[in-house]
């Protein structure tokens, strides 16, 4: 055990002259030491003199004071301590210094030096972090993100995490909400935002970014990739064929599943009153293939709406025709 006698020096008790003789006896008994160790604890003192702990505390605080010099564990200099309770004496003198740690008793000067060091280290860390974020903006790291991640980053520049979470919870739903968390983690890995986490599950509760990142919001937004749909016409049969491309910018529940542009290389006429037979097939990458053909070009048939309502003689002809188109497309 550490020798307290080498750490404590000049132990002195001050007793006010404004107290009674009985109060002086109580104070002397309360502040009695042997080799700097406490001899009587508050409860024992209160029982000895038949008073309550509240009254004892009032007497000690009002009419007495203990002063001593205590050795700092860090600079090995003594610092004067002035206290008015046994509890405080224990708090100061029983501080243990752990091996290879910064614990133990610190004097005021050492505490101030330590606080300055912590502040300086924090400033240096913030400076390095700021430099990383500035470099990420200079390198336009958002180009390393996919379209959804870029959309999340762009949206996050104008709202806080709670608002962002609600927005994407409504859009993605409970089952797909993890997609937002993964996107934020990827954005953070690119040093474009700083995530704050807490709790046993390490949940995200906030994020920050450099304020001038907002200047690049339009550039960060996912580029609109609109693919041109394939179009083919047959002038002899007035048949129209084209591919419905998948919409790659589905960030909202109301976004269309298929979107794109269509460029007709010649004039297309859809005659009024003419009934067309149409077919729709699934193709690679979730694209669709659509055809429209005037029904009269196959065979004269009654005015009908569905293939199943056609006479059996023409029904198979129509089915075979549609199947052949699907095989050739």
Supply the range of the domain harboring residue 160: 122-220
Do both 70 and 127 map to the same domain?
no
Q: Is 313 helix (H, G, I), strand (E, B) or coil?
A: helix
Do both 240 and 185 map to the same domain?
no
Do both 164 and 251 map to the same domain?
no
Task: Write the CA distances from 109 to 105, 133, 273, integer angstroms.
Answer: 12, 36, 96
Paired with 38 in beta bridges are 33
Do both 238 and 207 map to the same domain?
no
What per-residue confidence (pLDDT) applies to 227?
Answer: 54
Domain CATH code at residue 153 = 1.10.10
Do both 239 and 212 map to the same domain?
no
Whether 36 contacts 96, CB under 8 Å: no
| Dmax (CA) of the chain | 128
Please indicate, yes or no, if residue 112 is contained in any of the structural domains.
Answer: no
Please indicate, yes or no, if residue 110 is contained in any of the structural domains.
Answer: no
Would you say the pTM of this structure is higher than 0.85?
no
What per-residue confidence (pLDDT) applies to 105?
Answer: 86
What per-residue confidence (pLDDT) applies to 52?
Answer: 95
What per-residue confidence (pLDDT) applies to 180?
Answer: 92
Total domains, the chain: 3
Please indicate, yes or no, if residue 171 is contained in any of the structural domains.
Answer: yes
Domain stops at, among 179, 199, 220: 220
Q: Token pair of 303, please? A: 């005015």
Please indicate, yes or no, if residue 241 is contained in any of the structural domains.
Answer: yes
Do both 33 and 78 map to the same domain?
yes
Do both 133 and 44 map to the same domain?
no
DSSP string covering 249-274, please?
---STTS-SB--B---SS-----TT-
Q: How far apart are CA 329 and CA 284, in angstroms?
A: 12
Do both 101 and 9 map to the same domain?
yes
Count the residues in the chain. 329
Please indicate, yes or no, if residue 263 is contained in any of the structural domains.
Answer: yes
pLDDT averaged per 10 residues in sequence order, the chain, 329 residues = 68 94 95 92 94 95 95 90 93 67 80 89 84 91 92 91 90 85 93 88 88 88 63 61 66 62 68 76 65 68 58 74 68
Q: How far apart are CA 231 and CA 244, in angstroms?
A: 10
Do both 215 and 132 map to the same domain?
yes
Domain stops at, among 220, 240, 271: 220
Please indicate, yes or no, if residue 132 is contained in any of the structural domains.
Answer: yes
Domain stops at, among 220, 247, 270: 220
Please indicate, yes or no, if residue 292 is contained in any of the structural domains.
Answer: yes
What per-residue confidence (pLDDT) applies to 314?
Answer: 73
Do both 175 and 236 map to the same domain?
no
Q: Token pair of 291, please? A: 């055809």
Do both 73 and 149 map to the same domain?
no
Please indicate, yes or no, if residue 113 is contained in any of the structural domains.
Answer: no
Q: Is 23 helix (H, G, I), strand (E, B) or coil?
A: helix
Do both 215 and 270 map to the same domain?
no
């Amino acid at each position: 055990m550490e020798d307290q006698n080498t750490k404590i020096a000049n132990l002195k008790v001050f007793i006010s002259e404004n107290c009674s003789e009985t109060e002086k006896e109580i104070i002397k008994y309360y502040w009695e030491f042997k080799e700097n160790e406490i001899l009587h604890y508050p409860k024992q003192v209160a029982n000895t003199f038949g008073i309550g702990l509240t009254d004892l505390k009032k007497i000690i605080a009002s009419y007495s004071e203990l002063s001593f010099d205590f050795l700092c564990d860090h600079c090995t200099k003594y610092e004067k301590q002035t206290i008015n309770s046994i509890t405080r004496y224990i708090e100061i003198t029983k501080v243990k210094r752990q091996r290879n740690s910064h614990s133990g008793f610190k004097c005021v000067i050492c505490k101030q030096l330590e606080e300055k060091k912590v502040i300086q280290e924090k400033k240096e860390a913030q400076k390095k972090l700021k430099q990383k974020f500035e470099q990420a903006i200079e390198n336009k790291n958002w180009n390393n993100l996919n379209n959804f991640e870029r959309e999340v980053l762009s949206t996050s520049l104008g709202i806080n995490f709670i608002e962002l979470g609600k927005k994407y919870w409504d859009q993605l739903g409970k089952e797909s909400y993890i997609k937002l968390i993964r996107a934020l983690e990827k954005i953070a890995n690119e040093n474009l935002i700083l995530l704050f986490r807490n709790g046993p599950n390490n949940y995200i509760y906030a994020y920050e970014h450099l304020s001038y990142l907002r200047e690049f919001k339009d550039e960060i937004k996912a580029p609109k990739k609109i693919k041109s749909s394939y179009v083919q016409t047959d002038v002899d049969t007035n048949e129209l064929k084209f591919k419905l491309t998948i919409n790659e910018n589905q960030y909202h529940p109301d976004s269309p599943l298929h979107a794109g542009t269509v460029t007709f290389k010649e004039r297309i006429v859809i005659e009024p009153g003419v009934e067309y037979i149409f077919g729709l097939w699934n193709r690679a990458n979730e694209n669709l293939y659509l055809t429209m053909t005037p029904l009269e070009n196959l065979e004269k048939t009654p005015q009908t709406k569905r293939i199943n309502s056609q006479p059996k003689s023409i029904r198979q002809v129509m089915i075979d025709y549609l199947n052949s188109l699907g095989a050739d497309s």
